[in-house]
Structure 1
Amino acid sequence: MKRRLAGSAVAGLVAASLLVTACSSDADGGDDGAAAPIEGADGAGEASGEPEPEEPTGDPTPEDDGIDRPEIRVADDLELIFEEPGTDDPVERAIILDSQRQFEAVFAQMTTQDVENSAVGFYTAGNALLEDGEALAEIMAENGSSAGVMRFYNYEVKNLEENSAVVEYCRDFSEVYDTDFETGEVVEEADPTATPTHYVTRVEINGIGVWQTHEKFAEAGDVKCS
């Protein structure tokens, strides 16, 4: 189940390249299933001289932006660890935090199967909403869920414009195992050799100031995540 949400490696690589090119002329700028309806679906180190990385945190910390955000509750047996944004720029921080919340919302719905209180539609729009909705519908129809520890790191904002941006980051799911939602039985053990997934997403700010994920492409084994 965790692998389905990662997407196709080959297709993701091609699509991600097209996405970065389309978002800016400067490539270095600054990038439904009825079973589970989705709300909103309709509409390096010291030797190199580099600073030590920030200690990762748990849930994305809400910033004082005045936005009335839905509560996101991931099941206790799945821990999502998000790297603290490595930037002091308020816009970049807002973009990264909303990107983190988007992924958190997806796994909250999957691990609790609480469709009514899902926050997926709050942080997701466009093709990403349709694709995540389809994946969630399939997984929930099979009583699928995930448990363990999942880490997100190497966040970078690119191609930042007034209303849109590209966000790249990595996901390590080598400590995640698949479970049966109803029984809690382990369906597939964690794979400690699993290579991290590199994501390229396009986000747009909506009318209330939320940076929603519109496109999400993935590639396994990218050197940026090693």
Structure 2
Amino acid sequence: MNRSTRLAAAALATSAALLLTACGGSDDNKDGKDDKKSAGADTRSSGSPSGSATPSDTAAGRPKITLPKHFHADFQGWTNSDPKQQAIMNDGRQELLAEYAAIIEGNPGSKAVAYYTREPAGQSARKWIKGFVDDDLVLTGSTTVSKPQVSIADDGSGVLFYCVDESKGSTRNTRTGEVVRTPQDAKARVQYRNRLAKTSQGVWQTRYSETERGGC
């Protein structure tokens, strides 16, 4: 899934230094989310077949995010013994799910996406979603989201890296019905590198985001 916009990646330089070794990626490709619109989808789901929100997802005004049965994301190893780091992971997961749901709903102005993002990541997310809507594409199949690496920077922001395996994901054209699967190669595994900031309401919003195909 190639994303049409490129984010300035300077704010993620420290993030990369903190976590790249653990995630096994490199910091050479700073393409924002340019590479995210491939035939298979980056997939966001709560790990249940329906992608329904977990009970804590709707706490404190959090929007409920539900994915249809034809699209599933399996979050593996998404736990952390540190409550603050777990909170960062939880909201990072919901940000991913919100974008997936918005693509399937054809809604670039999704309130859930707005809830879990902050500029400039919000603008990038809207443009990415709009690219699917303009091409009459929705997501099908499944993905696996794994190898989360999380830390808290000196300035209090959250750093979250993870891998998305898109090899079982596809896109379907809503006009023609054509289904295109993700190529089965190393580029089907995408590394996400996010920096998050905590709001006064306690929500960890994604502020900067970049991806690297094959980075996992």
Q: If the length of structure 1 is used for normalisation, what is the TM-score?
A: 0.71
Instruction: Answer whether contact 1:148 1:175 (CA < 8 A) is retained.
Output: yes
Max Rg structure: 1
Whole-Å separation in 2 of the counterparts to 1:27 and 1:77: 36
Of residues 11, 15, 28, the one that matches 2:9 is 15
Of residues 181, 195, 203, the one that matches 2:196 is 203
Instruction: Answer whether contact 1:177 1:186 (CA < 8 A) is retained.
Output: no
Q: How far did residue 207 of structure 1 move?
A: 1.7
Instruction: Answer whether contact 1:157 1:168 (CA < 8 A) is retained.
Output: yes
Matches within 5 A, 1:1-226: 3-5=1-3, 15=9, 19-21=12-14, 27=18, 57-58=47-48, 59=51, 61-63=54-56, 66-114=59-107, 118-161=111-154, 163-182=156-175, 185-193=177-185, 194-222=187-215, 225=216
Deviations 1:46-69 (Å, cap 9, x if unpaired)? xxxxxxxxxx94356343894121
The one-letter code matched in structure 2 to 1:83 is Q
Whole-Å separation in 2 of the counterparts to 1:138 and 1:190: 17
Instruction: Answer whether contact 2:108 2:129 (CA < 8 A) is retained.
Output: no
| Shift in alpha-carbon separation, 1:96–1:102, aligned structure 2, 3 A | same
Q: Which protein is richer in helix relative to its size?
A: 2
The one-letter code matched in structure 2 to 1:157 is V
Instruction: Answer whether contact 1:74 1:109 (CA < 8 A) is retained.
Output: no
Deviations 1:170-219 (Å, cap 9, x if unpaired)? 00100011111355x13412323243011110000012111000111111
Q: How far did residue 149 of structure 1 move?
A: 0.4
Instruction: Answer whether contact 1:150 1:176 (CA < 8 A) is retained.
Output: yes
Root-mean-square deviation (Å):
3.0
Q: How many residues align?
A: 186
| Shift in alpha-carbon separation, 1:166–1:117, aligned structure 2, 3 A | closer
Q: 3-state DSSP class of the match of 1:177?
A: strand
Q: Name structure 2 gaps, 5 residues minimum.
A: 20-45
Moved over 4 A (4+): 114-117
Deviations 1:102-126 (Å, cap 9, x if unpaired)? 0100010101224676410010111
Q: How far did residue 74 of structure 1 move?
A: 1.8
Q: If the length of structure 2 is used for normalisation, what is the TM-score?
A: 0.74
| Shift in alpha-carbon separation, 1:117–1:129, aligned structure 2, 3 A | closer
